[in-house]
Amino acid sequence: MIPLPRLQELVLDGIQQLSFPNEPAALYDPLRYILSLGGKRMRPVLTLMGCDVFAGDVKAALPAALGVEVFHNFTLMHDDIMDNAPLRRSKPTVHTKWNSNIAILSGDAMFVESCRLVMQSPDAAVRQVMEVFTKTALEVCEGQQYDMDFESMSEVSIDQYIDMIRLKTAVLLGGSLKMGAIIAGANESDANHLYDFGVNLGVAFQLQDDILDVFGDADKFGKQVGGDILSNKKTFLLLTALNTAQGTTKDSLLQWINTTDQPQQKVIAVTEIYNSLNVREVAEGKMNELYDIALSHLDSIPVDDANKQPLKDLAASLMVRQN
Amino acid sequence: MIPLPRLQELVLDGIQQLSFPNEPAALYDPLRYILSLGGKRMRPVLTLMGCDVFAGDVKAALPAALGVEVFHNFTLMHDDIMDNAPLRRSKPTVHTKWNSNIAILSGDAMFVESCRLVMQSPDAAVRQVMEVFTKTALEVCEGQQYDMDFESMSEVSIDQYIDMIRLKTAVLLGGSLKMGAIIAGANESDANHLYDFGVNLGVAFQLQDDILDVFGDADKFGKQVGGDILSNKKTFLLLTALNTAQGTTKDSLLQWINTTDQPQQKVIAVTEIYNSLNVREVAEGKMNELYDIALSHLDSIPVDDANKQPLKDLAASLMVRQN
């Protein structure tokens, strides 16, 4: 197996070597800018890992891996417009630094560039890889749309929420892995097990994010605890609480949702309601269930355990238990 | 050769049979809506014609043709946001009927769908067809960016303008034809001649549009004559006039450009200046030059004249001389 740091190096070098035209500057500068903001580059590394599990040639998977990273950054550029986000990785977002029209068009060009990269996959794999890539890309759009829909919906079920985060974030992890597996020549069943590993891990990771936003250590977590509570974001926690709360607890929860002028008290009060309803335990239960499902898919792949160890390690490192 | 009406029927049937998911409705309804607004469907017909010139199986080119049409409508959806356009084919634009976020995301999904259609091209052609498709898609983005750039530039050269309209509108006509040619198995040189036919014809057609906007018959032309003059649009005519006007004529032209409160007089006065500078003749000269270049590329393709006749007829029908 190729050590994780070597795969990360391959991805970083590959990103460094991507070259785009200089003109028109307003089209290609934002693309270079958002790619320069960094990030964990997890998705392209997953593509290389997905290839390496099956002892494939990771260099052959590199263009597809880079395509996935460019695609991911395209979605960030457009999502930032839609979410009206001023900052991305502590730097101005593209639509803030330039303007919305430039962020729309530059994002479009970025998506085209991502297709061109994925199309550089080997002949034997290219059609299947593009099928996974474009199906995943559509699903990511669907997830973002559901996320926007949910903001104005009065009732969202837990299943709807899980499906939304599956589409919005998890399928791209699964798709990244599967693209690598296909390039390595894995059969459909094995490639799908790897996909399901990625998707279930991705949903578990997102649930962890929901939990940490309320119960995490602010220093370790790196962002303000309680942000989701303040913005009334329909997370797994809030939806579970709304589902299970009754009587005065429910009245109190609804009242705090409508409160905007006492932020500190709101975070404390809603957290207390969550505690009284065992919401954290429910969320952790679901998270662990999905994590176990993810690992069982990895177990089902008939290759040496040594080949799967890097993915097991990665999965474990993503699930940082805080207690 | 397959008669043009039969090719148009194939395209219309194909568009009719395109099916997209129902949910999320806000993602896919706008896509269905913009495709339902109609239009000449010229680009997909060109793909089928490009295939038919080389006696290829036009049914094999149909998915790529539909992909081109879906792509074209995606660019319209995003361009309408950027241009703040309220209407498209006399109906509300997507961002007006829904909102900008929905038009951004639905457009993104539309581009993915267009890729999926083009990817349905036959194995032997798919890589080359996707290369033409994605290269063209990038160039269309570049053209739109230059068009936006030009609005705030004080000086735009004729060459820059021609290059902008080539990228923004003409390469997609050339690319549509070339994709069909590749699917028919045409060699690189022949496919490129067909591409150059389309690109030169496309630029000539755009110049005709500039000319008709000032000198056209309002009834035949179907839109208000003088619209470009009123909006100070940097067309071939205005740029040529700015390049050639001197002394008091130039002063007068610049003065009218800055006038907004006398629309009728402005159209009359600027048209008179154009006449005094023979701007129409210069534009028609350039248009005819490009039209002849287009036809010479068609002539260079070593197939029976009968195979090329439909494209010659189409070219002639696009160039409707008004005098």
Q: Measured over all CA atoms, what is the biggest interatomic distance in chain A, rounded to whole angstroms?
A: 63
In angstroms, the separation between the Cα of residue A171 and the nearest Cα of chain B is 16
Nearest CA in chain A to B143: A24
> Dihedral of the CA atoms A127, B106, B172, B166 (nearest 10)?
-130
> Dihedral of the CA atoms B164, B166, B167, B172 (nearest 10)?
150
Please report residues of A whose CB lies closer than 8 A to that of B149: 24, 26
The residues near A114 (Cβ < 8 Å, ≥ 6 apart) are A67, A68, A70, A71, A74
Please report residues of A whose CB lies closer than 8 A to that of B81: 101, 104
Please report residues of A whose CB lies closer than 8 A to that of B24: 142, 145-146, 149
Mean pLDDT for the stretch of residues B80-95:
96
Closest Cα partner for A150 from A263, A159, B95? Answer: A159
- Asked if residues B64 and B129 have their Cβ atoms less than 8 Å apart, the reply is yes
Residue type, B17: Q
Residues making up chain A, counted from first to last: 323
- Residues B120 and B197: their CA atoms lie apart, in Å, by 26
- Asked if residues A160 and A147 have their Cβ atoms less than 8 Å apart, the reply is no
pLDDT in tens, B223-274: 668 999 999 999 999 999 999 999 999 999 999 999 999 999 999 999 999 9
In angstroms, the separation between the Cα of residue B138 and the nearest Cα of chain A is 6
A303 touches chain B (CB under 8 A): no
Please report residues of B whose CB lies closer than 8 A to that of A78: 104-105, 108
The beta strands (E) that lie in chain A are given as 87-88, 91-92
Window 9-48 of B, Cβ < 8 Å to A: 21, 23-24, 26-27
Strands B91-92 and A87-88, by their bridges, are: unpaired
Q: Is A86 exposed, middle or buried (0-12, 13-18, 19+ CB in 10 A)?
A: exposed
Please report residues of B whose CB lies closer than 8 A to that of A113: 138
CA-to-CA dists, residue A127 to A122, A252, B29, B116, B178, angstroms:
9, 54, 28, 10, 21
How does DSSP assign B153-173, residue by residue?
-S---HHHHHHHHIIIIIHHH
- Residues A136 and A145: their CA atoms lie apart, in Å, by 14
Indicate the helix (H) or strand (E) that contains B91: strand B91-92
**pLDDT > 80? residue A219:** no
Give me the residue from B112, B131, B144 closest to A105, CB to CB.
Answer: B144
pLDDT in tens, B142-159: 999 999 999 999 899 999
**pLDDT > 70? residue B321:** no
A146 touches chain B (CB under 8 A): yes
Closest Cα partner for A207 from A243, A169, A177? Answer: A169
pLDDT in tens, A281-294: 999 999 999 999 99
Testing the interface with B: which of A105, A128, A140, A159 to mutate, by most B Cβ within 10 A? A105
Testing the interface with B: which of A82, A145, A146, A148 to mutate, by most B Cβ within 10 A? A145
What percent of chain B is modeled with pLDDT above 90?
A: 94
pLDDT at residue number B216: 87
- Residues A199 and A10: their CA atoms lie apart, in Å, by 24
What percent of chain B is modeled with pLDDT above 70?
A: 97
Residue A63: cis peptide before it, omega within 30 degrees of 0? no
- Asked if residues A160 and A210 have their Cβ atoms less than 8 Å apart, the reply is no
Q: Which of A225-229, A237-241, A305-309, B45-49 has the lowest mean pLDDT?
A: A225-229
**pLDDT > 50? residue A323:** no
The residues near B177 (Cβ < 8 Å, ≥ 6 apart) are B46, B47, B49, B50, B194, B195, B197, B198
B112 touches chain A (CB under 8 A): yes
Nearest CA in chain B to A115: B134
CATH architecture, range B208-323:
Orthogonal Bundle (1.10)
Residue entry with tokens 């990625």: A198
pLDDT in tens, B53-84: 999 999 999 999 999 999 999 999 999 999 99
The residues near A130 (Cβ < 8 Å, ≥ 6 apart) are A115, A118, A119, A121, B115, B119, B130
Q: Is B91 exposed, middle or buried (0-12, 13-18, 19+ CB in 10 A)?
A: middle
Helices (H) and strands (E) counted in chain B, each on its own, are: 17, 2
Indicate the helix (H) or strand (E) that contains A19: none
Exposure string of A218-252, with b = 16+ CB inside 10 Å and e = fewer, is eeeeeeebbebbeebebbbbbbbbbeebeeeebeb
Please answer yes or no on whether B109 and A27 come within 8 Å at the CB atom: no
In angstroms, the separation between the Cα of residue B93 and the nearest Cα of chain A is 16
Testing the interface with A: which of B99, B100, B114, B119 to mutate, by most A Cβ within 10 A? B119
Window 115-134 of A, Cβ < 8 Å to B: 115-116, 119, 123, 126-127, 130-131, 134
Three-state secondary structure readout of A84-141:
CCCEECCEECHHHHCCHHHHHHHHHHHHHHHHHHHCCCCHHHHHHHHHHHHHHHHHHH
pLDDT at residue number B322: 45
**3-state SS, residue B211:** helix
- Residues B265 and B109: their CA atoms lie apart, in Å, by 45
In angstroms, the separation between the Cα of residue A24 and the nearest Cα of chain B is 6
Mean pLDDT for the stretch of residues A84-109:
97
Mean pLDDT for the stretch of residues A130-151:
97
- Residues A58 and B264: their CA atoms lie apart, in Å, by 66
Please answer yes or no on whether A115 and B105 come within 8 Å at the CB atom: no
For chain B, the average pLDDT equals 95
- Residues A306 and A173: their CA atoms lie apart, in Å, by 21
In angstroms, the separation between the Cα of residue A317 and the nearest Cα of chain B is 33
Please report residues of B whose CB lies closer than 8 A to that of A123: 127
Residue pairs spanning A and B at CB distance below 8 A: 105
Mean pLDDT for the stretch of residues B155-184:
98
Please report residues of B whose CB lies closer than 8 A to that of A168: none
Mean pLDDT for the stretch of residues B34-39:
95
**pLDDT > 70? residue A250:** yes
Please answer yes or no on whether B149 and A105 come within 8 Å at the CB atom: no
- Residues A180 and A51: their CA atoms lie apart, in Å, by 4
For chain A, the average pLDDT equals 95
Nearest CA in chain A to B81: A101
Give me the residue from B101, B116, B127 closest to A126, CB to CB.
Answer: B127
Q: Is B93 left (phi over 0), alpha (psi -120 to 50) or beta?
A: beta
Residue B24: cis peptide before it, omega within 30 degrees of 0? yes
Q: Is B163 exposed, middle or buried (0-12, 13-18, 19+ CB in 10 A)?
A: middle
**pLDDT > 60? residue B103:** yes
Nearest CA in chain B to A136: B112
Give me the residue from A82, A108, A119 closest to B78, CB to CB.
Answer: A108
Nearest CA in chain B to A84: B101
Give me the residue from A82, A111, A134 closest to B105, CB to CB.
Answer: A82
pLDDT in tens, A155-185: 999 999 999 999 999 999 999 999 999 999 9
- Residues A249 and A251: their CA atoms lie apart, in Å, by 5
Please answer yes or no on whether A130 and B115 come within 8 Å at the CB atom: yes
Exposure string of B277-299, with b = 16+ CB inside 10 Å and e = fewer, is bebbebbbebbeebbebbbebbe
Give me the residue from A81, A100, A105 closest to B145, CB to CB.
Answer: A105
B254 touches chain A (CB under 8 A): no
Q: Is B247 left (phi over 0), alpha (psi -120 to 50) or beta?
A: left
In angstroms, the separation between the Cα of residue A116 and the nearest Cα of chain B is 7
Q: What is the pTM of this model?
A: 0.96
B71 touches chain A (CB under 8 A): no
ipTM beyond 0.90? Answer: yes
* Domain spans of chain B, in order of start: 208-323
Q: Which of A222-231, B73-82, B279-288 has the lowest mean pLDDT?
A: A222-231
Residue entry with tokens 């995490």: A216
